[in-house]
Amino acid sequence: MARRKGFRMVGSVPDSGILVGAPHTSNWDFVTMLLVMWHDGAHPRVLVKRELFKGPLGWLLRALGGVPLDRKNPAAVVNGLLEEAGSGEPFRLILAAEGTRSKGEYWKSGFYRIAQQTGLPIVLA
């Protein structure tokens, strides 16, 4: 599906890293990134706004590696991700640099702070 949409892999994705998707323009970005990662044999974690975890969609998002993000208190989630990233197991985190599908002037800096604290490489996706 990703190839049919015009996406292709250039280079390789490290076993552990922070995959930053930009621009985030559609809910299909989530699906496309998961398909690319699954094709590579990875099971990434994906930051998703907390509001989407209500009802049956929440179960599905968690099963797919979704991590609910409280955008008013992101530090709570980041601390858990830092612990998980430091476990020694392969760890890939997917997130949208803008933090939303709305066009923003600047990217959020959370992915950079996570990379600094874990030493994980940042991969633009």
Each residue of 5-56: pLDDT tens digit?
666 667 777 778 777 665 656 777 777 777 777 777 778 888 888 998 998 8
Total count of domains within the chain: 1
* 91 in any annotated domain: yes
pLDDT value at 58 more than 90: yes
Domain housing 104:
17-124
Identify which has the larger pLDDT, 121 or 12: 121
Residue 40 belongs to a domain = yes
**Does a structural domain hold residue 5?**
no
Give CA torsion, residues 42, 112, 52, 82, to 10 deg. 70
- As to burial, measured by CB atoms within 10 angstroms (0-12 exposed, 13-18 middle, 19+ buried), residue 103 is exposed
- Is 7 a member of any domain? no
- What does pTM read for this prediction? 0.72
Q: Which residue in 27, 75, 25 sits closest to 52, CA to CA?
A: 27
Alpha carbon 44 to its chain centroid, in Å, reads 7
